[in-house]
Structure 1
Amino acid sequence: MTSKINNISNLLSKESSPYLLQHANNPVHWHAWNADTLLLARQSNKPILLSIGYSACHWCHVMADESFEDKETADVMNQLFINIKVDKEERPDLDKIYQNAHSLLTERPGGWPLTVFLTADTQMPIFAGTYFPKQAKHGLPAFTSILHNISDIWLSRKSDIEQQSNALQSSYQHMYEASKPVDTDFNYAVIDIARNQVEKQFDQINGGFSGAPKFPHPSIIEFAIKHWCHTRKNLQADPRILHCALYTLEKMADGGIFDHLGGGFCRYSTDELWMIPHFEKMLYDNGPLLSLYSQAWKINSDRLFFDAATETANWVIREMQSTEGGYYSAQDADSEGHEGKFFVWSQQEINSTLGNASKNNEITSEAIDLFKKRFGLNLSENFEGLWHLHGYESETKLASKHNINKQELHHQLQQIRQILFQQREHRDHPDTDRKILCAWNGLMIHGMAVAGRLLEKPGYIASASRAAYYLKNHCWKNNQLFANVKDGKATLNAYVDDYAFLIYGLLELLQSQWDNELYSWTLQLADKLLSDFEDTSYGGFYFTSHSHEDLIQRLKSFSDDAIPAGNALAALALNRLGYLCGKPDYINAAKNCLKSAWTSISQAPISHCALLNALSEYLTPPNILIIRSPLIDQSNNHNDNENSWQHLTKQYYLPDTLIYTIPNEQTPHPSLADKAAGENNTAIAYPCNGFLCQKPIETLTELKTYLENNSYRVLE
């Protein structure tokens, strides 16, 4: 068999990935990862240079500008290697495998761009790194020196390469054997250990859980909030762990990692103050953060949290949701060739724009002065001679210090931010990666549904529903889920994250707005998750399906990274769904997943916060309240809506209770057929815990008592 392609041109123009298309005009003879390319490498006996990145990655752009667009460097690459470019968002399997290899070979964490040299025949790693400069600097060798050295190793040290490959394969097998289920009695001890680790790593001055660079770590924040709820339920409230979560959210919402004009959070902060971010905005960060800020608002009614949530949701709907309903992946850090240029301000532009704002009769000169103090515009510039908005003083402190009504000051500062936003809109915007990833959409569906319910914003629930139906119509074909859509075409088979995150999001959306069709689809997805991904020997779920192409490693990972572990959300969602639909198989799969993960959890509890949330819900199953009530005309019957049972449930923070309101006019799925509507079309609610159900609730007064007994707020 002969490869249908040759190594004499750049073939990326045939691809749909925005990241690959960014490199379609490089002089490098780039190929996509596919069977023909791998065959070409074997036939030519050239090692593979694998470069993995993503469209919004700043350092990917830097390496491209320095090396991949340089003719001399490209000539060396083309002469010595088969060059493969991979979008890590489309092929997270390859990214995870070779990031893992990088960590094993270098004993350091990886990153992007990921640069790995592979054997021509087995695709085993020879050498791995991340960014390499064109010229030697910062202790890094020149990229062309690396190229020549690796080529020499390939030609002269085959036995060393084979020995290293064998050692890596032994490591991979050892990793898998570590997932052998442990015969243990689950308990809260490991959760308590993680709680102590979270508090120990907590930055008491700036919030967060590390020094610079500083990442949001939404799984840790979620764990801290859930743990506080658990302790409060047991009448032993743990205010310190709640402080770790809320203070981190406060410092992030005040910091430059948050876009104070357009909404949304950047990927991470380059400093410990949350001041200067890497400016790319990722869907996978903003979905979980949207949920967390909505919960934080419901817990303590801090206006900062409400604004962060609503402005993030509004940004997503305005800039990140396609007209068909799916959510886009990311926005770039760079515009006009410079990182952050879209976001920062010169002294001249700030003074001119705020000077125009002073002509607005509703905005006082004092408010403009306080705006400058709020965001440091009265201080020295904080980003390469320019200003990036960062909260130095809170609105509350400014209002108190200057004896101004807090609500009035908030209103005026909002108006000033809107004026700056409109001015910024005239700039060249960063590129948006318009591919639609199923897994990340699942996280945003979850975030939008939580925000819509807790903030009482029906438009957010409608946005989540549109996204869900987009995925159902475009990513679900012939009982098979696809991972991504670009230009209306689904191309890649789904990974475990796609199934797990989508089920997780749909279960949340169903709490906000019941939909029989989406519920039935959720059950189909769960069945497919078990049949195609479950490790029936050791428990848990592989990252790739049983029919996926053979790669050097079949991953089954349990720890969180920038996003929660797929196994964690699979266990959490299956446990919830099992109790909702009455299917023990789902609950057993969740239990087996936790058993398989137990060794990994025990070694580093804080790295498994999402799985610990799943463990907590396995140990103490959530309450499930199914309400049957008449449909309410949202537009014409305000009083009836105010008195509706579903409206009443939205007034409470109920982290341990799943509430599903099924209209009396709908015939529920057979798994819920015993939850009948009340007599004469009246409302009724069925409270259950695990598989044990109590007496139905038949009056609003009884419902209010139930909700108050299960609600958690700081002031309650």
Structure 2
Amino acid sequence: MFPGRLPQCSAILNVIKKLKIGENYGDVTPKSVPIRLADFTVCNSVIYRLLFTEKELRYSSTIMASAEHKNRLANEKSPYLLQHAHNPVDWYPWGEEAFEKAKSEEKLIFLSVGYSTCHWCHVMEKESFESQSIADVMNEHFVNIKVDREERPDVDEVYMTFVQVSSGGGGWPMSVFLTPDLKPVACGTYFPPEDKWGRPGFKTILLSVAKQWKDDKQKLLNTGTKIVDILRKTTVFDVAMSEALVSGSIPSPECWELCTDQLSKHFEPLYGGFGLAPKFPQPANLLFLLNVYSRDPNAGKANDAKSMILHTLKMMYRGGIHDHIGQGFARYSTDEKWHVPHFEKMLYDQGQLAVVYSKAYLLEKDQLFADTIDDILTYVSRDLSHPEGGFFSAEDADSFPDAEASDKREGAFYVWTYDEITELLSKPIENKPDLLLADVFSYYYNVKENGNVDPSQDPHNELTNKNVLIIKHSVTETAEKFGITVEQLKSELSGAHKILYDARKKRPRPHLDNKIITAWNGLMISGYSHAANVLENADYVKRAIDAANFIKNYLYNSENGTLYRSCYTDKNGSIVQIANPIRGFLDDYAFLIRGLLDLYECSFDPFWLEWAWDLQQTQDEIFWDNGSAGYFTTPPSDDILLRLKDDQDGAEPSGNSVAVHNLLRLGSMLDSSDLTKKAGQVLSSFTSRLTRSPVSMPEMASSLMMYHDSTTQIVITGKSSDPDTEALLSVISDRLIPNHVVLLADDNTSSILYRRSDMIRRIKPINGKATAYVCRRRTCSLPVNTPEELNNLLEQHQQHG
């Protein structure tokens, strides 16, 4: 079987026999086994894979640890790529080495794209990429490339477009076969390892594609060329369209009215949200509706918009998508009730939801919304924060159920059995000796003896007899049922949360993706900045500033003014310096610029406004399409087939949608008609999308609203630390004001405001006191000095805007 290695394999078999006797594996260590560890590499696939159960493999990991096979991904920094560094697959990272190998050996490329907290990516790795027999096929017939979609969204975007066009859907893991010149010829997402249910398995597909390449290589090459031509024609604006786009009219207000109608049709009235299962938070939808309401609260559709917002946010708070014990929100729920989540937690959701709940708090001063803001930011500060200020990307859905488990399970860290709740919350309610805390808690959170998860939401039986906490009864209903006061109930539930949180800390934690992404940090800076304003929380201001400084220190090249996509930490938490960091993408610039504008409006430090302006100039230089207007999502690159423009606001808003907001805000803040004109050009380039299906781009529909209404400038003169100035600023932060910017004219004549804005240079305090001006379309109101006057002025402005 292994020429020259049979004696060593025989010795290893003796070790296996020793391991398989009884349940005590603790005495087997590398030191107690007279075998060279290197020998295990040779015998691994045949002996270990066939004779060891997964549990036994876990206990033998001390023997195998230093002898595991390593592929080229072991030299990468991405947590996702490192997860695959010990696969028997001969993985390459995306780059010239892999491309040259494919060309020189005339092999197809198998491209696998995913991310480190992706549940089905883990499943396919375990079933296929850890399989020696499948790896043998992959290594023989293909050059195999693994890509982290969060690290290289440009690669993901191009080939996901192909997957969606080809199959009508998409997802991760994404599996695409490419010619040596990177043209796609076949694709899919998750594949099971073997044939089942009448569908071919991954090995069958690999062999089939390999045979097609061997038998008729030219046909596949021609197919790839045709596919790229089709993609280019359907996704990239060609030169012939340029004049029509740039000189074309900007979409009319009917677009956002249509968007409101389309969202209303998709609204699910029972549990809130849009559409049925699976159900995502979709912050862009909610922010659009907040803008619809705030621009005219008395309009016919305003109350409908308000109802959709409030109902959705309250039901999300009550649902299992909200981590009631450890705070924060999961990525989505697998059912329409927000009950059973896909348990991974993403930074971009926390940042956007912090903004949504902050604005909703201004819409209706419900303490639940304020508590939810604190809840989200508590989670992010505690679990997703680097000590120097940056934010980590995500936490996994999967984890080990206990320290002795060999298999990870989805949701294991988060769910509870009835017996666990009964044991941990066994104490009686104060002054109610016959009433146990477990009974009250179980009623409130719908804890059931046999679990509360519908089996249809648990295809792998990972949640059998488990409970996902969901608020089934209100605080008032629960208090009345058990004959206690609302205040006592809240206190008891708070105590129960602490007990369960402490118990949960003893469980193995889900994997943390400690990649720090510029774009997502920008979204989180916005979240902290909005929360700082509406809750008047100085700690949140500081946290946003720390994050911005982190990006300045580690993700910004001050020599050429460009951003990097991401940075990484070592095992000690120190930032790792990379020789050739990945260049920033449109989202990195647009999301960070938005974050810096929000940070300016809560700190009024002109440094952040200055940096936002500089980044906008760089963004225009790198990404602007001089032929057709709008921004490409990627910088120029030799290894990307197409430069695309994302035309959908999904889990994250598109870079172009956010860019329009930024251009309008910066244009208004710094008195730049050029930026406002550029915003109009972007809107013109998306006229077709906004006219036919604005519901796919609610963030850009919000931008369109701001463009037509014109941005309102609220200018306060005075020092930010003066009580009179603070009082006027508090009026602004306490109201939901549509399409506005806030500027502080503090006589700092060296700041970018005074250097670039004629209006700021003209505005002065009245009677030596802090003064407020409300301006729009270069016309300002009469100045006012008191909070009451400013409040009345904003009320009138909103009614007659």
Same-fold call, TM > 0.5? yes
Tell me how far apart the structure 2 counterparts of residues 402 and 613 of structure 1 sit (CA, whole Å).
47
Question: What amino acid maps onto 1:170 in structure 2?
Answer: D
1:544–1:554: 8 Å Cα contact kept in structure 2? yes
Q: Which residue of 1 aligns with 2:60?
A: none
| Post-superposition CA distance 1:388-443 (Å, at most 9, x none) | 11121222443466665434433332232222112211211111111110111111
Pick the aligned partner of 1:560 from 649, 654, 666: 649
Identity across aligned pairs (percent)? 34
Q: Is 1:588 matched with 2:677? A: yes
How far 1:513 sits from its partner (Å)? 0.8
Question: What amino acid maps onto 1:18 in structure 2?
Answer: P
Q: Is 1:458 matched with 2:538? A: yes
1:9–1:30: 8 Å Cα contact kept in structure 2? no
Query: Aligned runs of 1:145-294 on 2, under 5 Å?
Result: 145-171=204-230, 172-177=232-237, 180=242, 181-182=244-245, 183-232=248-297, 235-236=299-300, 238-294=302-358
How far 1:704 sits from its partner (Å)? 3.0
| Post-superposition CA distance 1:238-277 (Å, at most 9, x none) | 2112212221111111110110111111111111111111
How far 1:167 sits from its partner (Å)? 2.9
Tell me how far apart the structure 2 counterparts of residues 431 and 483 of structure 1 sit (CA, whole Å).
21
1:362–1:412: 8 Å Cα contact kept in structure 2? no
Tell me how far apart the structure 2 counterparts of residues 379 and 281 of structure 1 sit (CA, whole Å).
27
Tell me how far apart the structure 1 counterparts of residues 285 and 448 of structure 2 sit (CA, whole Å).
35
**Structure 2: which 5+ runs fail to align?**
1-68, 401-407, 454-462, 570-574
**Paired positions, count:** 694
Pick the aligned partner of 1:26 from 82, 87, 96: 87
Query: Aligned runs of 1:338-357 on 2, under 5 Å?
Result: 338-356=409-427
How far 1:350 sits from its partner (Å)? 0.9
Pick the aligned partner of 2:511 from 431, 446, 453: 431
Greater Cα shift, 446-455 or 375-384: 375-384
Question: What amino acid maps onto 2:388 in structure 1?
Answer: E
Q: Describe the shift of the 1:681–1:39 C-alpha distance in structure 2 as closer, same or farther (beyond 3 A).
A: farther
How far 1:138 sits from its partner (Å)? 4.8
Q: Describe the shift of the 1:631–1:659 C-alpha distance in structure 2 as closer, same or farther (beyond 3 A).
A: closer
How far 1:629 sits from its partner (Å)? 2.3
Q: Is 1:536 matched with 2:626? A: yes
1:229–1:237: 8 Å Cα contact kept in structure 2? no
Pick the aligned partner of 1:576 from 642, 649, 665: 665
2:290–2:309: 8 Å Cα contact kept in structure 1? yes
| Post-superposition CA distance 1:634-689 (Å, at most 9, x none) | xxxxxx48963223333222233322335557853212451666378631223221
Question: What amino acid maps onto 1:272 in structure 2?
Answer: E
Q: Which residue of 1 aligns with 2:751?
A: 668
How far 1:699 sits from its partner (Å)? 3.5
Task: Pick the structure with greater CA Rg.
Answer: 2
Q: Describe the shift of the 1:510–1:642 C-alpha distance in structure 2 as closer, same or farther (beyond 3 A).
A: closer
Tell me how far apart the structure 2 counterparts of residues 472 and 690 of structure 1 sit (CA, whole Å).
34
Tell me how far apart the structure 2 counterparts of residues 588 and 131 of structure 1 sit (CA, whole Å).
44
Q: Describe the shift of the 1:147–1:558 C-alpha distance in structure 2 as closer, same or farther (beyond 3 A).
A: same
Q: Is 1:129 matched with 2:188? A: yes
1:326–1:471: 8 Å Cα contact kept in structure 2? yes
Q: Describe the shift of the 1:540–1:185 C-alpha distance in structure 2 as closer, same or farther (beyond 3 A).
A: closer
How far 1:574 sits from its partner (Å)? 0.8
Q: Describe the shift of the 1:675–1:495 C-alpha distance in structure 2 as closer, same or farther (beyond 3 A).
A: farther
Tell me how far apart the structure 2 counterparts of residues 700 and 297 of structure 1 sit (CA, whole Å).
20
Greater Cα shift, 276-285 or 169-178: 169-178
Pick the aligned partner of 1:482 from 525, 540, 564: 564
CA RMSD of aligned residues (A): 2.4
2:440–2:478: 8 Å Cα contact kept in structure 1? yes
Query: Aligned runs of 1:499-538 on 2, under 5 Å?
Result: 499-538=589-628
| Post-superposition CA distance 1:112-157 (Å, at most 9, x none) | 100111101x211111111111122355421111110110111223
Question: What amino acid maps onto 2:473 in structure 1?
Answer: E
**Structure 1: which 5+ runs fail to align?**
1-7, 634-639
Pick the aligned partner of 2:719 from 630, 633, 642: 630
| Post-superposition CA distance 1:461-481 (Å, at most 9, x none) | 211111111111211112111
Tell me how far apart the structure 2 counterparts of residues 266 and 274 of structure 1 sit (CA, whole Å).
10
1:675–1:686: 8 Å Cα contact kept in structure 2? no
2:296–2:798: 8 Å Cα contact kept in structure 1? no
Task: Look up the SS of the partner of 1:89 in the other structure.
Answer: coil
Q: Is 1:75 matched with 2:162? A: no
How far 1:9 sits from its partner (Å)? 6.6
How far 1:447 sits from its partner (Å)? 1.2
Q: Which residue of 2 aligns with 1:102?
A: 163
Q: Which residue of 1 aligns with 2:175?
A: 115
Q: Is 1:84 matched with 2:84? A: no
How far 1:710 sits from its partner (Å)? 5.5
Q: Which residue of 2 aligns with 1:329?
A: 393
Q: Which residue of 2 aligns with 1:3?
A: none
Tell me how far apart the structure 2 counterparts of residues 72 and 185 of structure 1 sit (CA, whole Å).
57
2:418–2:450: 8 Å Cα contact kept in structure 1? no
Tell me how far apart the structure 2 counterparts of residues 90 and 175 of structure 1 sit (CA, whole Å).
22
Tell me how far apart the structure 1 counterparts of residues 334 and 417 of structure 2 sit (CA, whole Å).
21
Tell me how far apart the structure 2 counterparts of residues 658 and 162 of structure 1 sit (CA, whole Å).
53
Tell me how far apart the structure 2 counterparts of residues 387 and 659 of structure 1 sit (CA, whole Å).
46
2:320–2:470: 8 Å Cα contact kept in structure 1? yes
How far 1:231 sits from its partner (Å)? 3.3
1:628–1:675: 8 Å Cα contact kept in structure 2? no
Q: Describe the shift of the 1:624–1:34 C-alpha distance in structure 2 as closer, same or farther (beyond 3 A).
A: same
Q: Describe the shift of the 1:601–1:168 C-alpha distance in structure 2 as closer, same or farther (beyond 3 A).
A: farther
Q: Is 1:369 matched with 2:414? A: no
